[in-house]
């Protein structure tokens, strides 16, 4: 339903616990009904990648931006002009 909460996915491409296709299908299903969603993948990362400080930091920054942009202070994306 379009009323589904804005959703952000983080998925390690080397995940052998949850297939990458599972996140991709869920992501696409949400997009198909116009739910705000993002999918971020990490090449070479396993299922539990947030124990690696660089991945944890990157995920936290993207999560904070997502929540701010779509939930706390909703606004459209404004591309930078060259």
What is the DSSP-derived secondary structure letter of residue 34? T
Query: Average pLDDT of 5-15?
Result: 94
**Residues 30-82 pLDDT 10s:** 999 999 999 999 998 888 887 889 989 999 999 999 999 999 999 877 777 76
Name the pTM for this structure. 0.84
How much is the pLDDT for 6? 96
Query: Average pLDDT of 13-20?
Result: 93
How much is the pLDDT for 82? 67
Q: What is the dihedral of CA 6, 66, 72, 22, to 10 degrees?
A: 20
First to last CA, the chain: 37
Rounded Cα distance between 79 and 62, Å, is: 17
Q: Cα–Cα–Cα angle for 5, 80, 33, nearest 5°?
A: 25
């Amino acid at each position: 339903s379009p009323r589904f909460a804005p959703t952000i996915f983080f998925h390690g491409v080397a995940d052998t616990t949850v297939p990458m296709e599972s996140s991709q299908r869920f992501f696409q299903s949400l997009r198909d009904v116009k739910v705000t969603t993002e999918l971020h993948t990490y090449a070479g990362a396993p299922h539990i990648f947030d124990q690696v400080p660089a991945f944890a930091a990157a995920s936290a920054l993207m999560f904070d931006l997502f929540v701010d942009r779509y939930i706390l202070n909703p606004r459209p994306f404004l591309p930078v002009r060259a």
